Structure 1
Amino acid sequence: MLDNVLITGADGFIGSHLTELLVKEGYRVKALCQYNSFNSWGWLEDVYCRKEIEVVSGDIRDSHFCRRITKNADIVFHLAALIAIPYSYLAPQSYVDTNVLGTLNICQAALENSVKRVVHTSTSEVYGTAQYVPIDENHPLQPQSPYSASKIGADAMAMSFFNSFELPVTIARPFNTYGPRQSARAVIPTIISQIAAGKRQIELGDVTPTRDFNYVADTCRGLLELVRCEKAVGETVNIGSNYEISVGDTLCLIRELMNSDVEFLVDTQRLRPGKSEVLRLWCDNTKIRHLTGFEPAYDIRSGLKATVDWFVQPENLAKYKTNRYNV
């Protein structure tokens, strides 16, 4: 068993859940959170295993720092990234600096320190609007936002290290992950938190696009299964449910689960530019099932119920600014 794990972006939504899973599975975890002068560890403040992990603060944009934190690591799960699509319209260079150059730094450091496995986390946004469904790993890549362009670049950088230097990289490509601790920049926590706060009307962007939503525990289990699979080295692998639902139907299901009569209104300021909106995402998860036997444990209803149950707890809801629009 490869014992020593570095998780970049461990202070984030998916990273904090992956940290808990890996500790539960017996790994020794070094968890990277982005340096800040508040000495905040992000969502790592809330994990049950906080005393069982080594937390380090820093920035993947610094190559020297990356070399230092990857020493003695057997596995690197690279999740650190800028991910908010609307903010990428305002600050595209920061996405290149973090997502592309940061990935270069991690891969170079992993190569120099002889890391045995690297799982680089991609996103279904790189596919853009589906040209065919369900979307398999051979689907064309379409940069419909500066964010997705930066992730396409990061994926290519990671795979180049496999092809050029035989760095044992797997590119994991999760479709839309949701669950406890997700940022309110995403639609599911935005709706749940505002309903829980007693809002009677909620302003939204376009609710017609479809998504393949995945509960965070399933995404993390998929990441773990891939790092344990030797046949996944040098491969790009989707993580998804193979189930498609519109954003609008998802919101109606949340409203039903929360026994709410809230009204949804369209706010034109929240609409993406026309060519940038990804209208349809539906995952073909055949490859990960064949490689690892992975099957999602949560369907959309059970995952949303678990998410609602977490958000309605007062101590959790208090962490969200329900009266502000998160970019």
Structure 2
Amino acid sequence: MKVLVTGGAGFIGGHLAEAFLRDGHDVTVLDNFEPFYDEGIKRHTIDRHREAAREAGVDYRLVEGDVRDRETVGEVVSGVDVVVHQAAQAGVRASVEHPEKVTEINVDGTVTLLEASKEAGVNRVIIASSSSVYGKPQSLPYTEDHPTEPVSPYGVSKLAQEHYARVYTELHDLPTVCLRYFTVYGPRMRPNMAISNFVSRCVNGEPPVIYGDGQQTRDFTYVADVVDANRTLLTSGAADGEVMNIGSSDTISIQELAETVRDQLAPELAIEYESAREADAEHTHASVEKAGELIGYEPSRSIREGVEEFIQWYEENQEWYEPLVRGA
């Protein structure tokens, strides 16, 4: 199978591309190497892709380009069986400061990709959405029919992606699936996320910093579970035209998360607190029943198990990863 992964040098896209290569698929990665965090992490990911392609004996192609560029997108989509769309301007807080950028990349870029996919006759487009589409919870856990009232431009852009995907499915018979990810973490994760930040600071003898009172709760999703969901959708049409939550169905408070990391790495440190950040969600919690019914999705790790696994990975990869995190 020939697969295009947009944003394939990034955290989630990088894991997806590597998994597809190891599964024996030919993979094209499209990434513009946006310097949202240290580019060295992406370059390390690309090295892993090339290694995986050599070992599996499959074709791998890296294209440095932007999803907003019609000519580039049309060229990389041509001949592809499935498009896995991970490219996005990430960052809830960054979207508050630059709403026009998140709209151009996440919305305009997605429309460009959907149009090219329609013209190329691809079998399926799998789109990375986000729990940010829900906004303030009226009830928890979030089910897919919960009202969508995002509280950040980032969340609005992700909801717009979903609606465009639905329209292309209904108007043009282009099979699409939108996956609402709940705070994904794991090896090579973005440096500015809570888990990587807590681990980095504790490893270096610095107290973890919580923004707000720490009572915010999160449903964190281990990246391997995201990979499994996307892997299934490469060949399954069971969820075509649907949106689905991809989470752990588990929650942890930011306070407990910081304590878990601190107690394992530097129990002598005191946790510090700063003002809450604008547009951060108060609580997230995923119901994954729909994904379980449609594609057999089942989280493989509790949050505490996954955090312990990430700490172990961090310590094993500290030599190359930490300088990039600390420089971010």
TM-score normalised over the length of structure 1: 0.91
* Unmatched tracts of structure 1, length 5 or more: none
Distance in structure 2 (CA, Å) of the matches to 1:93 and 1:78: 20
What is the root-mean-square deviation of aligned Cα atoms in Å? 2.0
- The counterpart of 1:204, out of the listed 210, 215, 232, is 210
Tell me if the contact between 1:204 and 1:266 (Cα under 8 Å) persists in the aligned partners: yes
- Alignment partners' CA distance in 2, 1:101 and 1:153: 10
Cα shift at 1:90: 1.3
In the alignment, residue 218 of structure 1 is paired with which amino acid? Answer: D
Contact 2:248 2:286 in 1 (8 A): yes
Q: 1:260 aligns with which of 252, 255, 267?
A: 267
Say yes or no: does 1:45 pair with 2:46.
yes
Paired position in structure 2 for 1:12: 10
**CA contact 1:174–1:239 (8 Å) conserved in 2:** yes
Corresponding residue number in structure 1 for 2:189: 182
Aligned to 2:322: 318
Which of 249, 272, 277 pairs up with 1:272? 277
Residue 24 of structure 2 aligns to a residue in which SS? coil
**What is the one-letter code of the residue matched to 2:85?**
H
Give the whole-Å Cα distance in 2 for the aligned partners of 1:218 and 1:186.
Answer: 18
Percent of aligned positions with the same letter in both sequences? 30
1:304 matched residue in structure 2 = 307
The CA deviation at 1:251 is: 1.5
Distance 2:253 2:33 in 1: 37
Give distance in 2, aligned partners of 1:50 and 1:224: 20
State the alpha-carbon separation in 2 of the partners of residues 19 and 55 from structure 1: 11
Count of residue correspondences = 317
Contact 2:67 2:109 in 1 (8 A): yes
Q: d(CA) in 2 for partners of 1:150 and 1:82?
A: 10
Q: C-alpha separation between the residues in 2 aligned to 1:12 and 1:74?
A: 21
Partner of 1:228: 235
Q: Cα 1:36–1:151, aligned 2, differ >3 Å: closer, same or farther?
A: closer
Whole-angstrom distance in 1 between the partners of 2:99 and 2:44? 25
> Does structure 1 conserve the Cα–Cα contact (< 8 Å) formed by 2:247 and 2:288?
yes
Distance 1:319 1:54, change over 3 A: farther
Displacement after TM superposition at 1:258 (Å) = 2.2
| Equivalent residues of 1:213, 1:241 under 8 A apart | yes
| Aligned partners of 1:100 and 1:154 also within 8 Å | yes
Q: Which amino acid aligns with 1:315?
A: E
- Quote the Cα distance in structure 2 between the aligned partners of 1:160 and 1:316: 44
**1:72 offset after TM fit, Å?**
0.6
User: Whole-Å Cα distance in 2 between the matches of residues 42 and 129 of structure 1?
Assistant: 37
- Preserved contact between residue 7 and residue 15 of structure 1 (Cα < 8 Å): yes
- Cα deviation per residue 1:135-190 (whole Å; 9 max; x = unaligned)? 11111111201111111112211221111111110111111111111112211111
Gapped regions of structure 2 (runs ≥ 5): 54-59
Mapping for residues 122-271 of structure 1, pairs under 5 Å: 122-199=129-206, 201-206=207-212, 207-268=214-275, 271=276
Matching residue of 1:56? 63
Counterpart Cα distance in 1 of 2:232 and 2:88:
22
> CA 1:321–1:237 in structure 2 vs 1: closer, same or farther (change >3 Å)?
closer
Instruction: Give 1:43 deviation, angstroms.
Output: 4.5
C-alpha separation in 2, matches of 1:307 and 1:320: 16
Change (3 A) 1:48 1:101: closer
For the 8 Å contact 2:110–2:161, the answer to whether it is kept is yes
Aligned residue number for residue 101 of structure 1:
108
Hey, what does 2:284 align to over in structure 1? 281
Is this contact kept in 2: 1:193–1:317, CA < 8 A? no
- The Cα offsets for residues 240-295 of structure 1, whole Å up to 9 and x where unpaired, read as 12112111111211222325332221122xx223xx33111110000111112221
Q: Equivalent residue for 1:32?
A: 30
Instruction: Tell me the distance in 2 between the aligned counterparts of 1:319 and 1:107.
Output: 38
Q: Is the 8 A contact 2:222 2:248 kept in 1?
A: no
TM, length-normalised to structure 2: 0.91
1:39, distance to aligned residue in structure 2 (A): 9.4
Q: Distance in 2 between matches of 1:10 and 1:46?
A: 12
Asked if structure 2 preserves the Cα contact closer than 8 Å seen for 1:237 and 1:287, the reply is yes
Amino acid in the other structure paired with 2:320: N
